Amino acid sequence: MTLSVLDRVIRFMLGAAAYFAVSLLWLYGILDAGHVDEESWVLWSVLATLAVLHVGFGFLAREWVAMLLPIAVVLLAVPAGYPESRYEPGLVWRGQMFLVLFEIPLIAAGLGLRALYDGRRRAPLPNR
């Protein structure tokens, strides 16, 4: 089943809105509020969850332009300033710039998994 261009645009816009909502929750609800403090298991579990979400977003987005969304999140992080945490000494947007180095390849991995999945679904079955 092929989707029309309008269906693809609407699906991508809904996915981008969900991506920005989760990103704003991450930036202002967790990072800026200082909820990720000295307990390393909390930090690693949050980062692992974010990694899985980025791969899942790439899988669902199906559009290569999705890899640009983490860069836009850096711009959303600029008003946050310094977090209310003793653990993180730098600006929130600088930390987000560092995370972009991992988020873009994770979204690309999700896009690659989707291409692989779609290719296997369309491949004809071998005759036996």
Judge whether residue 50 has pLDDT over 60: yes
Helix (H, G, I), strand (E, B) or coil at 112: helix
Domain boundaries, the chain: 11-122
- Angle between helix 69-77 and helix 5-24 axes, rounded to 10 deg: 40
Predicted pLDDT of residue 66: 92
Highest mean pLDDT: which of 6-10, 58-62, 103-107?
103-107
Helices (H), 25-91: 40-61, 69-77
* Separation between Cα atoms, residue 78 and residue 37, nearest integer Å: 21
Segment (H or E) for 120:
helix 92-122
Token readout for 104 is 């873009």
pTM above 0.95, yes or no: no
